[in-house]
Amino acid sequence: LLKRVSGFFNPGEMSALMGPSGSGKTTLLDVLAGRKTTGKTEGTVLFGGVKPTSGFLRRYTGYVEQFDTLVDVLTVEEMLLYTAQLKRPLKESTCSKRAAVDALIRDLGLEGCRNTRIGNAMHRGISGGQARFLHMPHRGICCAKRTNIGIAMITNPRVLFLDEPTSGLDSYTSNEVMTVVKQLVKSGITICATIHSPTPYAFRLFDRMMLLLRGRVVYFGARGEEATNYFKAVPLPEGQMMTSLGEGSNEAEWIVDITTQADRQERREACILPRRAPACAHGHLVPECTAHLMIDHGVVFCVQFRTLKNYKDGAFLGPRIGDKLIFSLLIFRQVPFTLPGVYISTYNIINIAAVLFMWSTLPAFGAAAYVPSIVLERPLFTRQALLQLCLSAPTAGNFSRNDGLYRVITYLVSKMLEELMLAFLASLVFSCIVFYGVKLQGEWVLFWLVYLVTLSCGIVLAYTVAACAPNMDVANAALPAYVVTLLFFSGFLIRSSSMPRYWFWYQYINFIRYAWHAQMSNQFDAHADVLLNGKPVLEFYDVTDSKWANLGF
Residues 369 and 264 occupy one common structural domain: no
Residues 306-328 have a mean pLDDT of 86
Final residue of a domain: which of 219, 249, 280?
280
Residues 186 and 261 occupy one common structural domain: yes
- Local structure of residue 361 (DSSP, 8 states): H
Determine how many CB atoms are found less than 10 A away from the CB of residue 244: 8
**Mean of pLDDT over the chain:** 78
Q: Is 211 helix (H, G, I), strand (E, B) or coil?
A: strand
Residues 383 and 245 occupy one common structural domain: no
In a domain, 74, yes or no: no
Contact 44, 51 (CB under 8 A): yes
pLDDT digits (tens, 9 = 90+) for 79-106: 999 999 988 888 889 999 999 999 999 8
| Residue 29: closest CA among 190, 163, 183, 142 | 163
pLDDT digits (tens, 9 = 90+) for 338-366: 444 444 555 677 788 888 888 889 989 88
As a whole number of angstroms, the distance between CA 285 and CA 257 comes to 33
Residues 459 and 402 occupy one common structural domain: yes
Residues 383 and 466 occupy one common structural domain: yes
Q: The CATH number of the domain where 208 resides is what?
A: 3.40.50.300
- Place 58 in a pLDDT band, splitting at 50, 70 and 90: confident
Final residue of a domain: which of 237, 253, 280?
280
Does residue 121 or residue 116 have the better pLDDT? 116
Helices (H), 343-443: 346-365, 371-375, 378-384, 408-437
Determine how many CB atoms are found less than 10 A away from the CB of residue 291: 16
Backbone φ and ψ for 481, nearest 5 degrees, come out as -60, -40
pLDDT at 473 exceeding the cut of 80: yes
CA gyration radius, the chain: 31
pLDDT digits (tens, 9 = 90+) for 252-306: 777 877 777 654 444 445 554 444 434 433 444 333 333 333 445 778 888 888 8
Q: Among 147-156, 286-295, 373-382, which stretch is predicted with the lowest mean pLDDT?
A: 286-295
In a domain, 145, yes or no: no
As a whole number of angstroms, the distance between CA 395 and CA 55 comes to 8
As a whole number of angstroms, the distance between CA 41 and CA 452 comes to 49
As a whole number of angstroms, the distance between CA 253 and CA 249 comes to 9
The percentage of the chain sitting over the pLDDT mark of 70, rounded to a whole number, equals: 79
As a whole number of angstroms, the distance between CA 302 and CA 307 comes to 7
Q: What is the pTM of this model?
A: 0.73
Contact 307, 320 (CB under 8 A): no
Kindly list the strands in the beta sheet with 216-222, ordered across the sheet, starting from the edge strand earlier in the chain: 61-64, 159-163, 190-194, 14-18, 208-213, 216-222
Residues 316 and 221 occupy one common structural domain: no
For 398, half-sphere exposure in the C-beta direction (CA atoms, 13 angstrom radius) is 8
As a whole number of angstroms, the distance between CA 435 and CA 16 comes to 67
Q: HEC string of 283-352? A: CCCCCCCCCCCCCCCHHHHHHHHHHHHHCCCHHHHHHHHHHHHHHHHHHHHHCCCCCCCCCCCHHHHHHH
Final residue of a domain: which of 280, 309, 325?
280
Q: HEC string of 510-521? A: CHHHHHHHHHHH
What angle (nearest 5°) sits at the alpha carbon of residue 513, between those of residues 507 and 519? 155
| Residue 536: closest CA among 339, 338, 342, 349 | 349
Determine how many CB atoms are found less than 10 A away from the CB of residue 210: 25
Which pLDDT value is given to residue 193? 93
Q: How many domains does the chain have?
A: 2
Residues 212 and 346 occupy one common structural domain: no
Residues 266 and 341 occupy one common structural domain: no
Residues 223 and 320 occupy one common structural domain: no
Determine how many CB atoms are found less than 10 A away from the CB of residue 172: 13
Does residue 458 or residue 407 have the better pLDDT? 458
As a whole number of angstroms, the distance between CA 364 and CA 487 comes to 10
Which pLDDT value is given to residue 348? 74
Residues 397 and 447 occupy one common structural domain: yes
In a domain, 107, yes or no: no
Q: Which residues contact 529 (CB under 8 A, 6 or more apart)?
A: 341, 342, 343, 344
As a whole number of angstroms, the distance between CA 25 and CA 16 comes to 10
Q: Which residues contact 45 (CB under 8 A, 6 or more apart)?
A: 31, 32, 34, 51, 52
As a whole number of angstroms, the distance between CA 255 and CA 262 comes to 11
Contact 17, 210 (CB under 8 A): yes
pLDDT digits (tens, 9 = 90+) for 482-504: 999 998 888 888 888 788 888 88
Helices (H), 88-224: 94-107, 143-153, 171-184, 200-204
Residues 484 and 519 occupy one common structural domain: yes
pLDDT at 132 exceeding the cut of 50: no
- Place 41 in a pLDDT band, splitting at 50, 70 and 90: confident
**Domain containing residue 30:** 14-68+157-280
As a whole number of angstroms, the distance between CA 439 and CA 447 comes to 12
pLDDT at 16 exceeding the cut of 70: yes
Which pLDDT value is given to residue 242? 53
Which pLDDT value is given to residue 451? 92
